Each structure stands twice: as structure tokens, then as C-alpha cells.
């Protein structure tokens, strides 16, 4: 093991890359995807264009301003400004809005239009459409009820006071971009150790170091275990560093901080250790499969990127179609991510972390056993 530690510490640039690369990913992706997880609709530049001067239209406009912030004055060339991205959206109410909304049945044509900037992101657009649909539904229900009772609509038409939300468990804050990206890129960074360990093993095999150790009585299994333990220690340092970045650095950059309040530390250590076993096992299996140093430097990063793409690291699984979500559940990186989220977001304990940890440890041990057999065959 001493030889492995010396070899690891000598390549300071590669070691620094293992620590800095996931940190950079966490910072960049958390800041870039902040609005994906928390679209701020009240900061969008919007205008209201009402061709209906009814009380119902005024009610909707007041409700919209309360929920989405004050509208800017409608410019005469608002369509061209939308196309140029100077406005995010314009809410237009057609003439006859109140009449169509108060009549039973489906109107022959829409009476409320959401004109959006083509560059408006999909999450914000979906939220706006949902908010408009909810507001129109509530307003129409109030108007139909008033009509049935022979009264004039009055008061707030929102049904929100009747609705409450209770989390199924303690949740200190919303699932922000930082809370999603820190676990995701922590997993990616830890698995990238497999590229480093496979490259080292192939290099020593090409130089004849491994064969000389076998001739001195050091078994292939002992050699693999000696290589695994230092890289598991590297994984531990990686995890601590990336969690610290989320907790301390991200708030300084203006993003939401990563919260570890209420986290079960034994469960977190269990999941991180299981991820490390899977990562190191993957690296040793790749090292036994490839023949040259160049192949190791190509195959290991490629496998990591593919597992990350499929496993929900690069693209959140909730944004995937059903077929891709099913494929994601087969990726060890997805097991790693789900295990971390079960602990740091849902505040699960050892019982919640154990199923994911067992999958990862089993995968890592199977990879290690397969790698050891191939390794022994290559040396003999």
C-alpha cells in the first residue's frame, strides 16, 4: 500500500484534478440550473393587454399582479419586443372574456392568450401556463356559482386558502439547484477515480511492475486491494470537500446553501463508502479488461460519462421520458445518487440508505472479483 500512496502523491496534477473537477462542476451547474429548480416568475418582464373592461378581467389582472409582480406598461410594438427578447411574455385577454368565462360549455375559441418569448425556458413557461389555467378555473367557478345563486361575484376568488401542504417528513428547505447538484456531481467525481486507478494499473502492468511483484510472492488479490484502499481514501476526501463547497462556498456566490441539518451521519458515511466501493471496483475491472494505457484513458472516462448521462447526473431523471427513467434505474450512478438524496434531502437513516448501499457494494464486489480473475489470467 505504501507504494500505491507514493505513486498517487507523486502525480500531484492528476490528484488535484480529482478534487477540483467535481468542485468546478458543482459551482457551474448549480448556478446555471438555479432557475430550472426554482423558476422565479415574479422577476419576468411581462405586460398585460386586456381588450375586455369587465370586472372579471380586472379581477384576473389584479390576481396576476399579486402573484407575478407588477406588469410593465404595454408598448405599442409589444409583439416585436417579444420576438427580440425584450419582454418575457404578454398576457392578453380578448374582448368578450367575461362573457365566455361565465357561459357553460367550452368556448369556440380561446379568450386568454399567453404570448411568450421564444427563448423563455420550458420550466417557467409550464409554470405560467399552469398558473393561468388555475386562475381562470377559479374565476370561472366563482362566476358560475354567483350566476346560479343570482348574486354578483365578490371577494377573493382564489381557492388557495382552502389548501395546505404537509411534507411527509421533516424538510428544512426546498430542493434547490445546489441540493440537487452537490450529490449529483459528488457521485460523478467519486466515480472518476476509476479512470485514475485503471490508468495506474495498466501503466504498472506495461512496465512489468505487477509481474515482478507476483514473482516475489505478492498475490494479484493483495495487489488489487493495496490499490483500492488509497483511492477509497481519495473518495472520502472528495466527498468531504464537495459537501463543504455546497455548505460554505455556494452561499458566498449568491446561491442557496447546501443544508446538512438533520442528516444522519452514519447513513451518509455508509452511502459514501458504498459509492467508493463501486467506483474502485469499476476502475479495477476496466484495468483488467483493457490492454493499453491509451485504452484505459479512453474507456474509463467514457464509461463514467455514459453512466452519468443515463443515471440522472447530467440530466435529472424527472426530466427524462419513461423509457429513460427505467434505464436510469440500472445505472450504479443512479443508485449512488438516490442513496445520497435519500439521506441528505429526505433525511433518511440507515434503513433508508441500506438498500442503495447494498446494491453498490454488491456491484463493486462483483466488479472486483471479475477484475481479479482477469488480472490473474493476464499475469499468468
289: Cβ contacts below 8 Å, ≥ 6 apart: 299, 371, 374
* Residue 88 DSSP label: S
pLDDT at residue 162, as a whole number: 45
Nearest Cα to Cα of residue 38 among 184, 132, 178? 178
Give the three cell numbers for residue 370: 471479475
Could you read off the pLDDT of 148-194 as tens digits, one per residue?
Answer: 666 555 555 555 554 544 444 554 445 567 877 889 889 999 998 88
- Please check whether residue 309 is in contact with residue 184, taking contact to mean a CB–CB distance below 8 angstroms: no
Closest CA to 353 of 342, 337, 364, 365: 342
Q: How far apart are CA 3 and CA 209, in angstroms?
A: 11
Burial class (CB in 10 A: 0-12, 13-18, 19+), 328: buried
3-state class (DSSP) for residue 141 = helix
User: Which string of DSSP letters, residue by residue, matches 161-220?
Assistant: GG-----SS--SS---HHHHHHHHHHHHHHHTHHHHHHHHHHHHHHTTHHHHHHHTT--H
First to last CA, the chain: 22
- Residue 1 pLDDT: 57
Nearest one of 204, 201, 205, 268 to 239, comparing CA atoms: 268
Q: What is the pLDDT of residue 258?
A: 85
What the block records as the C-alpha cell of 241 is: 470537500
pLDDT in tens, 325-363: 899 999 999 999 999 999 988 888 999 999 999 999 999
Rg (CA), the chain: 28
Copy the grid coordinates of residue 268: 451518509
Ramachandran angles phi, psi of 111, nearest 5°: -115, -5
Predicted confidence at residue 237, as pLDDT, reads 92
CATH number of 40-162: 3.40.190
Report the chain (380 residues): mean pLDDT per 10 consecutive residues: 61 71 81 64 85 88 88 89 87 88 78 86 82 85 71 53 49 62 90 85 77 75 81 91 90 83 93 95 90 84 90 82 89 94 89 95 94 78
Candidates 144, 145, 110; CA nearest to 129 is 110
Bridge partners, residue 8, by sequence:
none
Spatial separation of the C-alpha atoms in residues 300 and 206, rounded to whole Å: 17
In this prediction, residue 331 carries a pLDDT of 92
In sign, the C-alpha dihedral spanning 128, 133, 136, 139 is negative
CA angle 319, 300, 344 (to 5 degrees): 45
Query: What is the biggest distance separating any 2 CA atoms in the chain, rounded to whole angstroms?
Result: 99
CB 282 within 8 A of CB 232: no
pLDDT (0 to 100) of residue 144: 76
What residue spans define the domains of the chain?
2-36+174-379, 40-162
Amino acid at each position: 500500500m505504501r507504494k500505491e500512496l507514493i505513486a498517487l502523491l507523486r502525480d500531484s496534477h492528476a490528484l488535484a484534478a480529482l478534487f477540483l473537477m467535481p468542485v468546478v462542476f458543482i459551482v457551474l451547474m448549480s448556478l446555471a440550473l438555479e432557475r430550472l429548480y426554482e423558476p422565479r416568475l415574479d422577476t419576468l418582464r411581462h405586460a398585460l393587454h386586456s381588450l375586455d373592461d369587465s370586472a372579471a378581467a380586472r379581477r384576473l389582472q389584479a390576481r396576476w399582479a399579486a402573484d407575478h409582480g407588477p406588469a410593465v406598461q404595454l408598448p405599442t410594438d409589444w409583439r416585436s419586443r417579444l420576438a427580440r427578447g425584450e419582454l418575457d411574455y404578454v398576457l392578453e385577454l380578448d374582448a368578450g372574456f367575461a362573457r365566455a368565462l361565465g357561459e357553460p360549455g367550452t368556448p369556440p375559441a380561446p379568450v386568454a392568450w399567453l404570448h411568450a418569448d421564444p427563448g423563455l425556458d420550458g420550466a417557467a413557461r409550464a409554470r405560467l401556463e399552469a398558473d393561468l389555467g388555475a386562475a381562470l378555473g377559479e374565476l370561472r367557478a366563482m362566476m358560475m356559482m354567483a350566476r346560479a345563486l343570482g348574486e354578483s361575484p365578490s371577494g377573493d376568488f382564489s381557492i388557495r386558502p382552502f389548501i395546505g401542504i404537509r411534507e411527509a417528513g421533516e424538510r428544512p428547505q426546498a430542493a434547490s439547484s445546489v441540493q440537487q447538484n452537490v450529490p449529483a456531481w459528488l457521485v460523478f467525481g467519486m466515480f472518476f477515480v476509476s479512470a485514475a486507478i485503471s490508468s495506474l494499473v495498466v501503466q504498472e502492468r506495461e512496465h512489468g511492475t505487477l509481474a515482478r511483484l507476483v514473482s516475489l510472492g505478492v498475490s494479484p488479490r493483495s495487489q488489487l486491494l493495496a490499490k483500492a484502499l488509497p483511492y477509497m481514501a481519495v473518495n472520502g476526501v472528495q466527498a468531504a470537500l464537495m459537501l463543504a463547497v455546497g455548505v460554505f462556498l455556494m452561499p458566498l456566490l449568491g446561491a442557496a446553501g447546501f443544508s446538512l441539518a438533520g442528516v444522519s451521519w452514519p447513513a451518509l458515511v455508509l452511502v459514501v463508502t458504498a459509492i467508493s466501493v463501486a467506483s474502485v471496483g469499476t476502475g479495477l475491472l476496466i484495468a483488467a479488461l483493457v490492454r493499453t494505457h491509451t485504452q484505459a484513458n479512453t474507456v474509463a472516462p467514457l464509461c463514467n460519462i455514459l453512466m452519468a448521462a443515463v443515471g440522472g447526473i447530467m440530466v435529472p431523471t424527472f426530466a427524462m421520458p419513461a423509457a429513460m427513467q427505467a434505464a436510469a434505474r440500472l445505472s450504479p450512478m443512479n443508485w449512488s445518487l438516490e442513496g445520497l438524496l435519500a439521506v441528505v434531502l429526505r433525511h433518511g437513516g440507515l434503513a433508508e440508505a441500506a438498500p442503495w448501499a447494498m446494491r453498490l457494494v454488491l456491484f463493486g464486489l462483483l466488479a472486483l472479483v471479475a477484475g481479479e480473475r482477469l488480472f490473474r489470467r493476464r499475469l499468468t
